[in-house]
Amino acid sequence: MRAVISYIGRNRSLLVGTVLLLALAAFVFVGALLVDTENARPLSVPILRPPSWDYPFGTDKTGRDLFAVMVVGTPLTLRIGFIAGFLGVGFATILAFTAAFYRGMTDTIIRSIADIGLTVPSLLVLILIAVSIRGSLTVNQMALIVASLAWLNPTRTIRSQVLTLRERGYVELAAMSGMRGPEIIFCELMPNLLPYIGATLVSSVSSAILASIGLEVLGLGPMEAPTLGMTLYWVNFYAAMINGWWWWWIPPIVIIVVVFLGLFFVTVGLDEIANPRLRRSA
Amino acid sequence: MSGAVLEVTDLCVSYAHPLGLVRAVDGVSFRLAPGERFGLAGESGCGKSTMALAILRMIRPPGRIDGGSVRLDGVELSSLSREAMRQLRLAGIALVPQGSMNSLNPVMRIGRQIEDALANHGVALPRKALNARIADLLSTVGLRGEVAAMYPHELSGGMKQRACIAIAICLSPRVIIADEPTSALDVVVQRQVMETLARVQRDLGAAVILVGHDMGLMAQFVDRLGIMYAGRLVEVAPVGTMVTAPRHPYTRALISSLPSLDRKGELQGIPGLAPLLRDLPPGCAFHPRCPLAAERCRREAPALRTAGEAAVVACHFAETAP
Amino acid sequence: MQAVYVLKRFGVFLLIVWLAATLNFFLPKLSGQDPVRAKLLAEAAMGGNVQLGLEEMVKEYDTRFGLDKPLIVQYGNYLWDISHFDFNYSISNYPRTVRELIGEAIPWTICLLATTTLLSFAIGTFLGALLAWPGAPAWMRYLMPPLWALHAIPFFLFGLILVYIFAFRLQILPMFGGYTPGAIEAFTWDYISDILVHSILPALSIILVSVGGWALAMRGMMVTTMGEDYVVFAEAKGLRPGTVFMRYCLRNAILPQVTALVLALGQILSGAVLVEVIFGFPGIGALLFHAIQENDHFLIQGIVFTVIAALGLGTFLLDVAYPLLDPRISYRRR
């Protein structure tokens, strides 16, 4: 454990990222203790109050306590990202390993699908899907929609990593000493790939959050949920910026920036672990 | 002995590694006569390639040249300005690089790569004369004129290596440093490349330093051979003497490890591993693996001493050994 | 042999187009909603009075829009229409056609995207290359962290921040729109400069965020390239540092960058759509937003299809042009 902490200390990006995310987590936990989360619903509190002792982030036009909204909404947004990201990378890993290991036609098919899927701008397809499913979306449904396309990029990157590793000596050695396919995959390839998959995972979560926020800002998200993206949607809808209700749009933007920066730095930090050449010399 | 075209004296190169200082080249000295063929042999990681780069003053951080001098025709290279040194590269000392795999720019045609070498050294010729000169160079190394319009990936390994030789000789240098020019080539092509190198060198009257680890190749090509171990020169002798009567225990082990067509027997290796350059043993670097090692070897690093005619050895037991 | 390569790529392009069209057709059907009916009902509800003859009206529209025929026939008709660029009428802006609306919006988006992408790629790549070069001035190192951090956040978020600072607070740049309302459309300098001024903030939000990404990537590529054997040899050849930088390092490092550009087009577009929404820039993005609000299925479908097809075309063209950059990728199949 101490070794892990000391390493994080040396890996500056990982440190910054982890600190940011931990700060966010602290905000959510402490906040949940301090405020009544029911006030994140509309018509709970007086409208359009600027920040005060009672309402640290003020209130919005529909009568939500914005502090509560942030405390409730942040984990919701993150949840979408995590579900979609994990599902996406999970599926991608299976596909990538299958493609890279069995080669031939399987590989070609999987690779082509992933490549074609990538030339298409995913947000647009997501819009199409979301519009078609119209009707109130729940947060989990959002996550599934985003997940449906989240596996494309990771499949590609993980596959190329596996292919690179596959050519390395120790895999051949394992094959020669009688290990079978799945065994090789789990015992030899996986451990070396874990940092890389970790970095891909975090990056995938980040993209998923971006996609979900994008959909929400366009008005295609779960309307009742106080997620960060939906908050921005309402900000746009009620023209909060022009009306000078600065307390409404600053917190979500700040939190979103912190989320993305945090995830970004963690990704870079994990990349450094995965690719030792990038490591700084002490 | 003046008249040496290249004089390396006490050259020291080190790299700063987080785990310790790596002494890649530790006080190496030798002389090169004009037109001479000198071989620099040793195991991988003994500092030979670093030597080559150091002579060309191309050592970059975290490496640095700690001391020593390199003189070309009497001119001290460390006293030259950056621009002057740049001009000297290729025109005075040329490198034939190792790894014909990747030494040529993949997105430039061969002809252009020769051309920019010429152009960057102030050779300004009209288009026709330039093309003629390039074609001429290519034919000198045994390549057809069409090669000039080709890209490196369209050439075979041997052809690429010869193209590198063509580039190296285009300005008629005084010294050619060939850094493992035949690695990754099959024996037939190896011979072709070495023949090309030999011919070209003779015609130019240039001196050659052949860096490598293939003793058989060395024996057939060089006049004098220097053996490097752990960043130091341990023996220098005319090649004939070295092969028949090696004096340093390491050299002896190397020679006897070469399989021979005449005798049949077990393959002889050298026990142990070459030391890490950042963790050299005290005294003589070879003593942990040396059959003759004694207490003195642990304390005192031997200096290069004359042993016989035109040979120098760094061993405490050079004279006494049979 | 060139033909085979080009044909293959073209085939991929057609495949993408077909996929987009099919997705476009079937996905909305999944929800079981009849877009026309839904729209009409919504209108009726807002009108407040019960519409007698609503069923007849719906039937009329169904026939007009072809929604009463069997699925396969609809699909066939759809594909036929698409290939003629007939995307039907816009439900929300009837009687204008989707094609008309898209036609108006596309030039804006293309201009915005083309300029910003090219600019950020060029600036970012060159910046990244310079940052990797040991001879670069020291102060440049301080540019890296902010650029880095900046590129992690989405375009439109940065757009929001910029709008607040420059349009709202400082009031030196317009808040949104492509041009001042009521401006006369003509090729006069006034009109053009008006457009340009309105484009500054949207363009900046894309450029400033993207530059960091390109710079970072290019710097990484340059570092890798500078360690290559051929760069060592280039130096050993006594080439001038400038020549080594441009012709040996940059020229090689830029190849993966271009590939990355081709792959990133989709993402850049998605981000640009959101930027347009935030700024009310009259391009495809804003149009899409309206379409979503109005539940105008035909318009949405038309836009999504057009964008995917355009991207496919762009990718195809770039794919075909790539061998010009990298002689190792020959047209011949290996």
* Percent of chain C residues topping a pLDDT of 90: 4
| pLDDT at residue B1 in the model | 45
- Across the interface, whether the CB atoms of A241 and C301 are under 8 A apart is answered no
Distance from CA of A154 to the nearest CA of C (A): 14
Chain C contact present for A145, CB below 8 A: no
Residue of B nearest to A282 (CA): B18
| pLDDT at residue C53 in the model | 61
What are the angstrom distances between the C-alpha of C155 and each of A264, B114, C161, C270? 15, 46, 10, 10
For B188, the token pair is: 């037939």
Domain assignment of residue B283, yes or no:
no
| pLDDT at residue B2 in the model | 58
- Residue A231, pLDDT > 80, answer yes
What CATH number is attached to the domain comprising B144?
A: 3.40.50.300
Contact present, B230 and B250 (Cβ < 8 Å): no
- Across the interface, whether the CB atoms of C252 and B89 are under 8 A apart is answered no
Averaged pLDDT in 10-residue chunks for chain B of 322 residues? 79 83 85 90 78 88 85 88 91 83 87 92 89 92 90 88 91 91 84 89 90 85 88 86 83 76 71 74 76 76 72 72 50
Contact present, B211 and B48 (Cβ < 8 Å): yes
Residue of A nearest to C17 (CA): A120
- Residue A252, pLDDT > 50, answer yes
Residues of A whose CB is below 8 A from C161: 253
Q: Is the dihedral of CA B3, B4, B9, B12 positive or negative?
A: positive
Residue of C nearest to B169 (CA): C237
**Residue ranges in chain C whose pLDDT is less than 70:** 1-2, 28-68, 88-95, 136, 175-187, 330-334
- Residue A280, pLDDT > 60, answer no
**ipTM surpassing 0.90, yes or no?**
no
| pLDDT at residue A282 in the model | 28
Residue of B nearest to C233 (CA): B103
| pLDDT at residue A279 in the model | 45
Question: Is 3.40.190.10 the CATH number for C105-325?
Answer: no
Chain A contact present for B62, CB below 8 A: yes
- Across the interface, whether the CB atoms of A282 and B18 are under 8 A apart is answered yes
| pLDDT at residue C33 in the model | 61
Domain assignment of residue B17, yes or no:
no
- Residue A43, pLDDT > 90, answer no
* Percent of chain A residues topping a pLDDT of 70: 85
Distance from CA of A277 to the nearest CA of B (A): 14
How far apart are alpha carbons B162 and B164 in whole angstroms? 5
User: Mean pLDDT score of chain A, rounded to an integer?
Assistant: 80
Chain A contact present for B18, CB below 8 A: yes
Chain C contact present for A141, CB below 8 A: no
> So what's the architecture of A11-35+56-276 in CATH?
Orthogonal Bundle (1.10)
Its domain, for residue B89, covers: 34-58+81-260
User: Mean pLDDT score of chain B, rounded to an integer?
Assistant: 84
DSSP state of A189: I
* Sequence-ordered list of residues with C-beta below 8 angstroms from that of A53, at least 6 positions apart, any chain: none
| pLDDT at residue C1 in the model | 47
Distance from CA of A282 to the nearest CA of B (A): 6
What are the angstrom distances between the C-alpha of A84 and each of A80, A204, A211, A218, C23? 6, 8, 10, 19, 21
- Sequence ranges of the domains in chain C: 2-82, 105-325
| pLDDT at residue C122 in the model | 92
* CB pairs A-C closer than 8 Å: 119
Distance from CA of C239 to the nearest CA of B (A): 6
| pLDDT at residue B242 in the model | 84
pLDDT tens digit sequence for A140-182: 888 888 888 888 888 888 887 777 776 666 666 777 776 666 6
- Crossing angle of helices C297-325 and C251-279, in 10° steps, is 160
Pairing of strands B20-32, B175-179: unpaired
Q: Is the dihedral of CA B143, B148, B149, B154 positive or negative?
A: positive
Query: Chain C interface, mutation test: which of A21, A112, A128, most C Cβ atoms within 10 Å?
Result: A128
- Sequence ranges of the domains in chain A: 11-35+56-276
Alpha helices in A35-65 (DSSP H): none
| pLDDT at residue B319 in the model | 63
| pLDDT at residue A281 in the model | 33
Residues of B whose CB is below 8 A from C323: none
CA A223 to chain centre: 20
Number of structural domains (chain B) is: 1
Contact partners for chain A, using 3 or more CB pairs closer than 8 A, are: B, C
Q: Which residues of C touch B (CB under 8 A)?
A: 228-230, 232-240, 243, 247-248, 251-252, 255, 325-328
DSSP 3-state assignment of B28?
strand
Chain C contact present for A239, CB below 8 A: no
What are the angstrom distances between the C-alpha of A23 and each of A6, A19, A75, A262, C149? 19, 6, 13, 10, 17
List C residues 94-123 in contact with A (Cβ-Cβ < 8 A). Answer: none
Residue of C nearest to A243 (CA): C168
Nearest to C292 among A116, A125, A220 (CB): A220
Chain B contact present for A33, CB below 8 A: no
Alpha helices in chain A (DSSP H): 2-10, 12-34, 66-102, 104-119, 122-132, 139-150, 152-166, 169-176, 181-183, 190-217, 228-237, 246-274
| pLDDT at residue B117 in the model | 92
Chain A contact present for C23, CB below 8 A: yes
